[in-house]
Amino acid sequence: MASYQADQLKEQGNAAFRNGEYLEAEALYTQAVQKYSRNPLIYTNRANVRLKLQQWDGVVNDCSKSIEITGANAQNHKAWYFLAQGQLGLHHPNEALTSALTAYDQVLHPQPSAKISPKDLETFSAFVLKCKKAKFSARDLERLRRQGDLRAELETMLETQRQRDLDEVTTQLRRSQLGNIEASERSQEISTTLDDKIASLRTVFAAADSANHKAREVPDYVIDMITFEPMHDPVMTKNGHSYERATIYEHLKRSPTDPLTRDPLTIRDLRPNFGLRAACEAFWDSGASEWIADWS
Amino acid sequence: MAGMSGKRLQKELAKIQGVLPPGISLVSAEDLREWQMDLIVPDNPIYPPDEEYRLRFHFSANYPIEAPEVVFMLLSNPERKIPMHPHIYSNGIICLDLLDKQGWSPVHNVESVCISIQSMLASNTKAERPPGDAEFVRSNRSRPRDINFLYHDPTV
C-alpha cells in the first residue's frame, strides 16, 4: 500500500519536473520516499531534480542511496551518471571519472531487461571525456599550486568565486526570489563569464611565460577523426583505422559504411584497440609540466 | 548531439584560419552553425580567373555525422554569381554525391568539401545548367538534403 502511494507521488513529481517546477518536484519525491524508502527510482529522480538545482551534495546522497538499494553491480546507469555529474559539481573529478566509466560500461553491456535510450552511449561517452579533462586539469593545477604558482592560485580563487555566485543563485531560488528559468539563465551566465576569465588568464600567462605555460600538442593518434576529440574507448575497423566507440556507433546508425572507404561496415566488425587505448591513457597521464590550451 | 558539432566546428575553424588551399578563403563563421566561403576556379576558361563564387555552409547539430548543407549564393554587393555547371541549379543548389546522405562521410570537412567543389568546377567542360533547371527552380520547395538527385552523368 505504502509503495503504491509512493509511486503516485513519484508520478506527480515526474510531472512537476517536466514542467520545470523543480522545487515542487523535489518536495513530491521527498514525500514519496517518506512513504516507501526502498524504491531506487525515486532517489534517482530526486537526484536529477537536484542536479537542476545544483545541489551537488544532495545529488551524491540520493545516487548513493539508489545504488545501495539496487546493489553496486546491478544495472543502474542513470544513478551512476547523475552521481558522476554531482561529483564533478563538487570538484571531485577522480570520483566523477570512476562513476562516469561505470555508467558508460553499464550502457555498453546492459542487462537484458535494461531500458537504455539510443542517445545514452554517446552522452555518457562525452561525459567520460569531460571528467578526464577535469581530472587532469585539476591535477595539473594542484601541482602548480604546490609549487607556489601564481596562475594556479588565481584560477583557484576564480573557481571559489564561481561556486559562491552559483550557491547564491540556488539560495535565491529556494527563497523564491528567483524563478526557475531566471535562475538557470543566471547560472549559465555566471559559468560562461568565469570560463572566459580563466581562458583570458591562461592566455596572458602563456604569452608572458611560454616556457612554463606552453600548451602541449595532442598527438594525432589520440584524436578521433570525426569529433576531433581525444579518445577513451577506441575501436578499430578492418582497414586498421580507429574511432571513438560512441562516435562510430552514431555514424553506423545512419550509414553502415566505413567512413574512409565506404565499404559496408557494421558494429559487429569493430574490434577494441587495446594498444591505442593504452596510448590514450598514457597521453592523459603524461601531464608533466604542461597543460592543454583548448580544454573547454 | 549538439556538443559534437560545436567542438568539431570550433577546431575546424581554428585550423582553417591557419592555411587554406589556393583559391579558397573564409568569409565568415560568426555563428558557428553557418559559414561562408569564397571560391575561385583556376585554369578553366569557363570561369574567369577573378570571378569569385560564394558558398554557404549550414551545419546541423549532428555534424559531422550528418552532411552539411552547401549551396552557392547569388549576391549583388559584393557581386557573386552562381557558376554555370550541369550539376548546379541556378538557385545555387549543388548536385554532388559527397553532399548526399549516401555519399557523405564524417571524415570530410569544410576544407575537403571546398576542394571537391573547386575540382568539380575546374574539370567542367559544359557551361550549361542542369536539364529542367527553370522548372526545378520554380517548383522546388525541399531543402537540398531532402532531394534525391540521380547521378547518371559520370562524364561531368
Asked if A226 lies within 8 A of B65 by C-beta distance, the reply is yes
Asked if B4 lies within 8 A of A260 by C-beta distance, the reply is no
In this predicted model, what pLDDT tens digit does every residue of A194-241 receive, in sequence order?
Answer: 989 988 888 887 777 666 555 567 788 999 999 999 999 999 999 999
User: Across chain B, which distance is largest between two alpha carbons, in Å?
Assistant: 44
Quote the CA–CA distance of A277 and A128 in Å, as a whole number. Answer: 14
pLDDT band at B2, cuts 50/70/90? low
Residue A156 is classified by DSSP as H
Q: Which residue of B has its CA nearest to A118?
A: B1
Quote the CA–CA distance of A135 and A129 in Å, as a whole number. Answer: 10
CB A169 within 8 A of CB A176: no
Quote the CA–CA distance of A223 and A229 in Å, as a whole number. Answer: 5
If DSSP codes are grouped into helix, strand and coil, which group holds residue A284? helix
pLDDT band at B150, cuts 50/70/90? low
Residue A289 has pLDDT above 60, yes or no: no
Q: What is the pLDDT of residue A143?
A: 76
- A80: number of CA atoms within 13 Å, CB side? 24
Crossing angle of the two packed helices A40-52 and A56-70, in degrees rounded to 10: 160
Q: What is the pLDDT of residue B148?
A: 63
Please state the rounded mean pLDDT for residues A78-93.
Answer: 95
Q: Would you state the cell numbers that stand for residue B135, as one nine-digit string?
A: 522548372
Residue B1 has pLDDT above 60, yes or no: no
Q: Give the H or E element holding residue A256.
A: none
Q: What is the pLDDT of residue B20?
A: 86
Residue type, A32: A
B18: which strand partners? none
Which residues of A fall within a CB distance of 8 Å from B12? 228
The residue annotated as part of the active site, out of B95, B99, B110, B117, is: B95
Quote the CA–CA distance of A97 and A118 in Å, as a whole number. Answer: 22
In this predicted model, what pLDDT tens digit does every residue of B85-141 receive, in sequence order?
Answer: 999 999 999 999 889 888 899 999 999 999 999 999 999 999 999 999 999 888 887
Asked if A228 lies within 8 A of B107 by C-beta distance, the reply is no
**Known catalytic membership, residue B95:** yes
In this predicted model, what pLDDT tens digit does every residue of A102-115 receive, in sequence order?
Answer: 999 999 999 988 88
- By the 10 Å C-beta count (0-12 exposed, 13-18 middle, 19+ buried), A265 is classed as buried
Which residues of B fall within a CB distance of 8 Å from A229? 7
Q: How many CB atoms lie within 10 A of CB A22?
A: 21
